[in-house]
Amino acid sequence: MEPELWDKLARGKCRSETEPSESTSAGDYRIKRQRTVREEAHTVRSSLDQLYRTFPTDRFSYMFPPVVFRHQLYSCLPQKTRTEIDREVNAMRSRKEIRCIKLGFTGDELALVKQDSFREHVRGYARDHLKNPLIIERFLDFVDNFDISISTNDLKKDRAFTDEDIQSLVLVGVLIVREVGTWWLSFPGAGQFMKTFLSGREKVLTMVKKAKYSSVLESELIKRGLPKRCLGMHYTIHDVIGNDLVLVSDTTSGRLLRFRH
């Protein structure tokens, strides 16, 4: 072999000699784009977006906004530790991109709603159900500085809200009683959401339990699907795995879900 050709090969310049330079840059661009897409698939933001995008709000006639639980991300991003995910979610929360809402029975079930969709949803609901929708506008501005829960004293400070206002906010469903003098923040239709969500979870758990040896492959579950009145199968599987309700083991043909007796 000629020594010059060796040199060129070593420097990786062999192709640029034979091909025009423009197409190379296009190729580079394509590679770069592919790489970014692949990297994005492993971030909290992208998997959140993915879950929001696939959330079937239209099937439930827009009764509730797209909601994702924090523990679902644990299952979406198995390559990240839970600590990393928690911290990233917290950062997004402090940047006010998402809103954390306490739903469910145990403390770790923290629901994440996009700030925009939360506002849009609350406004839409108030427009139909409230005589004076201006309260909601005031509330949405006010509530930006709070998270998860809010106290009556904070609401009444500087005469921001009167007792009647608070009453109508409770009627809309953005405030839920926590204890005397404090409220959980919520969204209208949270009850409907929890109902559909929990029924889906129960269905998946019985599927896993009834299966042979109480264990199913994830792909098998997805093939079976869930009825229309539940949230999606992917969504529910992520919930069941992320919440440690089943035991998970990796196999050569995907994840295997085993019932936790």
Applying CB under 8 A, the residues found at the interface with another protein are: 81-83, 85-87, 90, 100, 106-108, 110, 145-149, 151, 153-154, 178-179, 181-182, 244
Q: Please compute Rg for the chain using Cα positions.
A: 25
3-state secondary structure of 68: strand
Contact 70, 89 (CB under 8 A): yes
- Name the nearest CA neighbour of 72 among 59, 56, 89, 96: 89
Range 122-136 burial, b when 16+ CB lie within 10 A, else e: beebbeeeeeeeebb
Least separation in angstroms between CB 121 and another protein? 22
φ, ψ of residue 100 in degrees (nearest 5)? -95, 135
Contact 254, 220 (CB under 8 A): no
Least separation in angstroms between CB 204 and another protein? 20
* Separation between Cα atoms, residue 155 and residue 161, nearest integer Å: 6
Least separation in angstroms between CB 185 and another protein? 11
Among residues 63 and 247, whose Cβ is nearest to another protein?
247
Among residues 84 and 116, whose Cβ is nearest to another protein?
84
Residue 9: both structure tokens together? 């090969």
Least separation in angstroms between CB 77 and another protein? 13
Least separation in angstroms between CB 94 and another protein? 9
Among residues 20 and 107, whose Cβ is nearest to another protein?
107
Among residues 89 and 237, whose Cβ is nearest to another protein?
89
Least separation in angstroms between CB 104 and another protein? 11
Among residues 32 and 260, whose Cβ is nearest to another protein?
260
Q: Rounded to the nearest 5 degrees, what angle is found at the Cα of 247, between the Cα atoms of 214 and 91?
A: 145
Among residues 8 and 178, whose Cβ is nearest to another protein?
178
3-state secondary structure of 259: strand
3-state secondary structure of 175: strand
